[in-house]
Amino acid sequence: MPASLRDMRFLMHDVFDYAGHYQSLGVDDAPDRALLDSILDEAHRFTEGELAPLNRIGDEHGCQLNDGVVTTPPGFKAAYTGYVEGGWASLSGDKAYGGQGLPDSISLFLEELMCCACMAWTMYPGLSRGAVSALDAHGSPEQKEQFLSPLLSGEWTGTMCLTEPHAGSDVGLARTRAEPLADGAYAVTGTKIFISAGEHDLADNIVHLVLARLPDAPEGTRGISMFIVPKVDLDGSRNSVTCGAIEKKMGMHGNATCVLNFEAARGYLVGEPNRGMKNMFTMMNAARLVVGLQGICGAQSALSLALDYANERLQMRSLSGAKAPDKPADPIIVHPDVRRLLLTQRAIVEGGRALIYYAGQVADRATQLDGEEAQRATQLLDFLTPIIKGTLTELAFESANNAIQVFGGHGYIRETGVEQYVRDLRITTIYEGTTGIQGLDLLGRKILQVQGIGLMHYLGEVSEAAAALQQSATQADLGERLQALGNEWGELALNVGGSAQKNLEEVGAASVDFLMYSGYAVLATCWARVAVAAERALADSSGGERDYLEGKLATARFYFERLLPRTAAHKAAMESGADNLMGLNAESLSAC
């Protein structure tokens, strides 16, 4: 289903002023509004023409493995060729290695359009961009020369290889080993599982970034190093990395999720020994932002289907009287509970999109600026990343389930297409770190370990957004609610930290509730910005544009009055403490 170009432009120009943002960064030939619009238009033509038809095909055909060779669904390879020939792979890459040098955030707009069209296909080039980020940050000059150019051209693709069968999310348990070779390379041996895009027929080579242990490395994550292990080595020979299986999955059938076997495969150390987790987090953090975006894209597509169906499906009469008296029944969009379902979806999708666009600007500042400004942006982005990944995927999954509910029984069957988004989106709450891991990361690392520096930065943003909203003639009460929420949020973090000092189990017990509370608070701040921009634009608009902007204001109020109160339940759950979770022993818990 298509992304909402109208909403993308509104956020890009009216809410966040991306053209002004790029100028403030001092970017050479900073993209102006006209260039941004032209990129959106061209990307939309490509994604709707080439990718959108593949979404259903990829789901139905899936990937096939024969003699170690993975064949992607019909049309996937041709679309990838079009992607490469259109120059999309190099959009934001370093000019020194063949990139076009545009700011990284522009790739978010492209990613959104591609994900809305076909999320499974988009993961193939999407992982390449993560590999580029990691190698650009941590690779040697020689490695950059060897690997970045073909990755940026799209001639090669990339992956990240962390998970092993016995370890799951506990990467410190990894057993894959790397033995030094006489020429300075390494022989990498081990098995990695759940490797998205690990083998395919779209490109001639795949650059695997693999976590492995050197001989005598310390135990745990302190002993992990990162290696480049190409499918085809630099001399053109086939490396000894093979696909042993592709997983039979609940969804995302068009993307090959592989078991990869490395049998003394030739690899190249990236950065310093035993610093692999630090290096890999460059790729992982970028991927977590993209997974949050994936959630919003799947929810957007499901919402588009639900809106069309709700306007067309005739069933029952409105309780306040017939709204379509010339028809045998009213369209279901007139019924309050259907509107609850639709408005919940819209509030999640449009608020989540605003959050992603805001984070894109923060990420730009972290990489393009220097000194205290860059440090502040980095701290803010570190704080936002688990919130974006954890809460947006959970809410997106809820949104897609709401779309099925709008369809009723027709949503549960395959022909309407909406059930695919529920299956596809389910993985987004799991890969790149489950929601539980995101909660621990936020509360443990981004709050307690650093004395909440990112939260303090963001609370300043909350106050700013609340003050702007309080100047509104019609939305001032929402600004007051937002400021009160910000005050409560800061106090809650202090209270949870105090409990954790007495009992560390309180961190795990409170973490997901704190994550979701934080997500609702961040989305409220985004909706405040959107409401201020919509009211400002409304003063100068007419016709259909007024309908769009009034819809923004109505959805902002719906969010504050219907969804934001969920924070009270999360707060109560946190304050109940860890005893109701940890008081029962394992034997009693298992005695069902």
Assess whether 179 and 107 both reside in one domain. no
Assess whether 167 and 66 both reside in one domain. no
Q: Give the pLDDT confidence of 11-59 residue by residue, as tens digits.
A: 999 999 999 999 999 988 899 999 999 999 999 999 999 999 999 999 9
Q: How far apart are CA 2 and CA 113, in angstroms?
A: 7
8-state DSSP, 221: G
For residue 387, the SS3 value is: helix
Q: Is 14 a member of any domain?
A: yes
Assess whether 168 and 144 both reside in one domain. no
Specify the range with the lowest mean pLDDT, choosing from 108-112, 187-191, 278-282, 491-495: 278-282
Q: Give the pLDDT confidence of 105-161 residue by residue, as tens digits.
A: 999 999 999 999 999 999 999 999 989 999 999 999 999 999 999 999 999 999 999
Structure tokens at 299: 């929810």
Q: Give the pLDDT confidence of 76-101 residue by residue, as tens digits.
A: 999 999 999 999 999 998 999 999 99
How many Cβ atoms sit within 10 Å of the Cβ of residue 368? Answer: 18
Q: Which of 50, 394, 419, 432 is catalytic?
A: 432
Q: Is 204 a member of any domain?
A: yes
Q: Given this model, what pLDDT does residue 71 score?
A: 98
Assess whether 482 and 540 both reside in one domain. yes
Domain boundary residue, one of 214, 239, 273: 273
CA atoms within 13 A on the CB side of 408: 8
Q: Smallest Cα–Cα separation from 299: which of 359, 358, 345? A: 345
Q: How far apart are CA 452 and CA 445, in angstroms?
A: 9
Judged against a pLDDT cut of 70, whether residue 1 lies above it is answered with no
**Full residue range of the structural domain in which residue 42 is found:** 5-151
Assess whether 32 and 126 both reside in one domain. yes
State the pLDDT confidence band at 438, using cuts at 50, 70 and 90: very high
Assess whether 10 and 146 both reside in one domain. yes
Number of domains in the chain: 3
Assess whether 140 and 166 both reside in one domain. no
Assess whether 108 and 165 both reside in one domain. no
pTM: 0.96
Question: Where would I find the H helices in 408-504?
Answer: 409-412, 418-426, 435-440, 453-470, 476-502
Assess whether 169 and 134 both reside in one domain. no
Assess whether 84 and 163 both reside in one domain. no
State the pLDDT confidence band at 170, using cuts at 50, 70 and 90: confident
Residue that has been written with the tokens 């990718």 in this structure = 51
Largest CA distance in the chain: 84
CA atoms within 13 A on the CB side of 75: 19
Assess whether 89 and 165 both reside in one domain. no
Q: Which residues pair with 569 in a beta bridge?
A: none
For residue 191, the SS3 value is: strand
Q: Is 310 a member of any domain?
A: no
Q: Is 141 a member of any domain?
A: yes
Query: Looking at residue 49, which CATH number applies to its domain?
Result: 1.10.540.10
Q: Given this model, what pLDDT does residue 502 score?
A: 87
What whole-number percentage of the chain has pLDDT above 90?
Answer: 89
Domain boundary residue, one of 151, 180, 201: 151
Task: Supply the Cα-derived Rg of the chain in whole angstroms.
Answer: 24
Per DSSP bridges, beta strands 156-161 and 205-212 are parallel
Tell me the torsion sign for CA atoms 14, 20, 22, 25.
Answer: negative
Q: Which residues, 6 or more positions from 199, have their beta carbon under 8 angstroms from its beta carbon?
A: 65, 68, 69, 70, 206, 231, 243, 246, 256, 258, 260
Assess whether 99 and 220 both reside in one domain. no
Q: How far apart are the first and last CA of the chain?
A: 44
Q: Give the pLDDT confidence of 338-397 residue by residue, as tens digits.
A: 999 999 999 999 999 999 999 999 999 999 999 999 999 999 999 999 999 999 999 999
Q: Given this model, what pLDDT does residue 286 score?
A: 86
Structure tokens at 470: 């309080």
Query: Looking at residue 198, which CATH number applies to its domain?
Result: 2.40.110.20
Q: Is 250 a member of any domain?
A: yes
Q: Is 351 a member of any domain?
A: no
Q: Is 106 a member of any domain?
A: yes
Q: Is 291 a member of any domain?
A: no
Q: How far apart are CA 320 and CA 318, in angstroms?
A: 5
Q: How far apart are CA 356 and CA 109, in angstroms?
A: 10
Domain boundary residue, one of 151, 179, 206: 151
Please say if 461 is a catalytic residue: no
